[in-house]
Structure 1
């Protein structure tokens, strides 16, 4: 998996978004920051907690110019049914992409062989369509939207300040580092 700093591959799919079925493609991710958030399946256990966590911080992501897209190998019809029946998923305002053919999941190399399900994987994509961050966790380990928001802010900062880097636990407003020969061995 050498996807960091690679451009996303073309895709086209249907999503459930704001009460309607909408077309979504790789071109929709261009020109803005995006999070593509894969999860195994609708109507499961850890997955709704993660989608709900992202829903709770969705406006914070949008405030910094990041759009969220959730993806599973379920259909957009299943996403609609889940949205209408779950107290947690009803909060979701971002597009829920259906990938029943597995094309998008395979493009991002997170299809579980022989299962037809996506791994629990997160990708942060810059406005040029280049993957800047990825994370994959095991089935039983849920993600943290606040930490993803922190990483999105760090990636945006580094893009805007190419001669600086964000150290561990960096938060917006904290000091950064300017890599140089003088800094080697002094941290």
Structure 2
């Protein structure tokens, strides 16, 4: 599995756009690559399958915090190994996902999830992996959960704040709190 300090692999994937454009068949689809938002931080999170139980809770949780991510000059991408057509169908038929504000990447050939090393060994779907990638496409944070356990978008924001600060941040540090200062010897 790729980890902190590795470069995000090059990719170009079909995606269902976020917002109202993603709900209309004639405007729903776009291509997104590792270079699409080159000067921004990227938060890419994977889920195993559309039309499941834990996944929509995570998508809604991240979507509710979209302004907090954009305020930090970060783009949010959700991804699974489902096709863009399955993503669109899910958005159209799940009331909580109709207003989803970020794109849903379709890694149907499993190229990105394979390159990242996050495919479940027996199920062949993406694990619940989260990557924070800096504007130079260097991975700065990785978290992976088992298929049955959702993640915490507030914690992802906390880590993004800490990474963007460039400072030493203690356990449970929150934006606005004091940083650690090494003692002079």
Deviations 1:69-122 (A, max 9, x none): 011000001110001111121121101000110001111110112432000110
Output aligned runs, 1:6-155, within 5 Å: 6-17=6-17, 18-19=21-22, 20-155=28-163
Give 5+ residue unaligned stretches, structure 2: 23-27
Report what 1:171 is aligned to: 174
Note closer, same or farther for the CA distance 1:180–1:9 as it changes in structure 2 (3 Å cut): farther
Structure-2 separation of matches of 1:48 and 1:154:
27
Equivalent residue runs for 1:175-186 within 5 Å: 175-179=178-182, 182=185
How many correspondences in the alignment? 177
SS of match in other structure, 1:27: coil
Q: CA deviation at 1:150?
A: 1.0
Q: Secondary structure at the match of 2:157?
A: helix
| Separation (CA, whole Å) in 2 of partners of 1:101 and 1:2 | 18
Q: Classify the secondary structure of the residue corresponding to 1:5.
A: coil
Q: RMSD between aligned alpha carbons?
A: 1.3
Deviation of 1:175 after TM superposition, in Å, equals 0.6
TM-score, normalised with respect to structure 2: 0.91
